[in-house]
Amino acid sequence: MMSARGLWFLLLLVCLAGCTGPAPAEVSPRLHLRIAESGLHRLTPAHLAPFGWDLAALGPENVRLARGDASIPFLFDPAGPALIFYAENTPTRFNGHTIYTLTQGSAGLPVTAGAAAPGQAAPAVGRDLIRLEPALHYLAQVRGEEDVADVTVAGVTIADPWLGERLLAPGEISIPFDLAPPAEGPVQISVQVWAATSAPVDPDHHLLFTLNGQQIGDKSWDGPGFRRFDLAPPAALLAAGANTLRLTAPHDTGARADLVYFDFLQISYPRQLAAAADRIRFYSSGGEHLIAGFSGPGIEVWETTDPLAPARLRGFALDAQGKETALRLSLAPAESASRQISAAGGEGFLTPAAILPAPPPFQPPAAGADYLIITAPELAATLPPLIEQRQSQGLRVAVVTTAQIYDRFSAGLPTAAAITPFLRWAAADWPPPAPRFLLLVGDASYDPRNHLGNSAPDLTPTALRATQEMGETASDNALADLNGDGLPDLAVGRLPAQTPAQLQTMIAKTLAYERDLPPGDWQQQMLFVADDDDAYFHRFNLDMAALLPAGFSAAQLVSDPAGEARSALLAALDQGQALVSYMGHGAIDIWAQEELLRNEDIAGLRQQGRLPLVVVWACLSGYFHHPSTPSLGETLLLTPEKGAVAALVPTGQTFPHDQRLLADALFGRHLFTADTLGEALLASFRSLDPAVAGQRDIIHTFVLLGDPALRWALER
Residue-wise pLDDT for 48-94, tens only, equals: 999 999 999 999 999 999 999 999 999 999 988 999 999 999 999 99
Does residue 538 lie in a domain region? yes
For residue 168, with 0-12 CB atoms within 10 Å meaning exposed, 13-18 middle and 19 or more buried, which class applies?
A: middle
Q: At 2, is the pLDDT very low, low, confident or very high (cuts 50, 70, 90)?
A: very low
Pair (527, 642) in one structural domain:
yes
Q: In whole angstroms, what is the distance from residue 505 CA to residue 493 CA?
A: 16
Does residue 602 lie in a domain region? yes
Helix (H, G, I), strand (E, B) or coil at 608: coil
Give the end of a domain, one of 272, 293, 320.
272
Question: Domain holding 650: CATH number?
Answer: 3.40.50.1460
pLDDT at 670 over 90: yes
Residue-wise pLDDT for 216-269, tens only, equals: 999 999 999 999 999 999 999 999 999 999 999 999 999 999 999 999 999 999
Q: Are 663 and 617 in contact (CB under 8 A)?
A: yes
Look up the domain containing 36 and give its range.
30-112
Pair (646, 701) in one structural domain:
yes
Question: Domain holding 256: CATH number?
Answer: 2.60.120.260
Q: Report the pLDDT value the prediction gives residue 288, as an integer from 0 to 100.
A: 86
Nearest to 422 by CA among 403, 443, 396: 403
Backbone angles phi, psi at 15, to 5 degrees: -65, -45
**CA separation, residue 202 to residues 169, 220, 249, 285 (Å):** 16, 9, 16, 43
Residue-wise pLDDT for 531-551, tens only, equals: 999 999 999 999 999 999 999
Pair (263, 140) in one structural domain:
yes
Q: In whole angstroms, what is the distance from residue 634 CA to residue 614 CA?
A: 11
Pair (99, 145) in one structural domain:
no
Q: In whole angstroms, what is the distance from residue 567 CA to residue 569 CA?
A: 5
Helix (H, G, I), strand (E, B) or coil at 268: strand
Beta bridge partners of 631: none
Q: In whole angstroms, what is the distance from residue 663 CA to residue 543 CA?
A: 10
Q: Residues of the chain with pLDDT > 90: what percent?
A: 84
Q: Report the pLDDT value the prediction gives residue 122, as an integer from 0 to 100.
A: 62
Instruction: Report the number of distinct structural domains present in the chain.
Output: 3
Pair (539, 673) in one structural domain:
yes
Nearest to 328 by CA among 294, 365, 368, 285: 294
Task: Report cis status (omega within 30 of 0) of the bond before 224.
Answer: no
Q: Are 557 and 527 in contact (CB under 8 A)?
A: yes
Give the end of a domain, one of 272, 288, 303.
272
pLDDT at 424 over 50: yes
Does residue 218 lie in a domain region? yes
**CA separation, residue 278 to residues 47, 91, 301, 327, 655 (Å):** 21, 24, 12, 12, 60
Helix (H, G, I), strand (E, B) or coil at 494: strand
Pair (94, 162) in one structural domain:
no
pLDDT at 9 over 60: no
Beta bridge partners of 586: 591
pLDDT at 702 over 50: yes
Does residue 225 lie in a domain region? yes
Nearest to 361 by CA among 417, 457, 425: 425
Pair (191, 60) in one structural domain:
no
Q: Report the pLDDT value the prediction gives residue 15, as an integer from 0 to 100.
A: 43
Q: In whole angstroms, what is the distance from residue 395 CA to residue 552 CA?
A: 30
Q: In whole angstroms, what is the distance from residue 528 CA to residue 517 CA?
A: 22
Residue-wise pLDDT for 373-394, tens only, equals: 999 999 999 999 999 999 999 9
Q: Of 320-324, 403-407, 586-590, where does mean pLDDT reach its minimum?
A: 320-324
Residue-wise pLDDT for 259-311, tens only, equals: 999 999 999 999 999 999 999 999 998 888 889 999 998 999 999 999 999 99
